[in-house]
Amino acid sequence: MRIEYGSKIIKTLRVKILDKPGYLGRLALTVGELGGMFGEIKTVHIGKDYKVRDLDVYFSTKEDVDRICEAISSLDGIELVEIRDIVQEVHQNGKIEVVPRVQIDSVDDLRLVYTPGVASICKLIQESPELARKYTTIPNNVAIVTNGTAILGLGDIGPVAGMPVMEGKALLFKMLSGINGYPILIDSKDPKVIIDTVKAIAPTFGAIKLEDIKAPECFEIEEILDNELDIPVTHDDQHGTAVVVLAALLNIAKYTFINLRDSTVGIIGLGAAGSGIQKLLTAYGIKKIYGTDLNPQMKELFAARGGIPTDLKGIMDNAKIVIATTGCPKLITPDMVKKGQIILALSNPDPEIDPEDAIKAGALYAADGKAINNALAFPGLFKGALMANAKTINSRMKIAAAQAIANHTIHGDLVPNILNIKVHEEVAKAVEEEAYKSGVAKV
**Residue 368 dihedral angles phi and psi, to the nearest 5°:** -110, -170
Give 389: exposed, middle or buried? Use CB within 10 Å, 0-12, 13-18, 19+.
buried
Please state the length of the chain: 443
Which pairs count as long-range contacts for 391-395, CB under 8 Å and 24+ apart, including other chains? 391/230, 391/231, 391/232, 391/440, 391/442, 392/226, 392/232, 392/233, 392/440, 393/207, 393/232, 393/234, 393/239, 393/431, 394/438, 394/440, 395/279, 395/280, 395/283, 395/284
In the chain the first and final C-alpha atoms are separated, in Å, by 52
**CA–CA separation, 86 vs 347, rounded Å?**
25
Nearest to 178 by CA among 424, 375, 373, 408: 424
Q: Which residue out of 11, 23, 50, 169 is catalytically annotated?
A: 169
Q: Which residue out of 42, 62, 114, 360 is catalytically annotated?
A: 114
Instruction: For the beta carbon of residue 329, count every other beta carbon within 10 angstroms.
Output: 16
**CA–CA separation, 351 vs 368, rounded Å?**
6
**CA–CA separation, 222 vs 235, rounded Å?**
6
Whether 114 sits among the annotated catalytic residues: the reply is yes
Whether 16 sits among the annotated catalytic residues: the reply is no
Strands 37-46 and 50-59: antiparallel
User: Which active-site residues does the annotation give?
Assistant: 114, 169
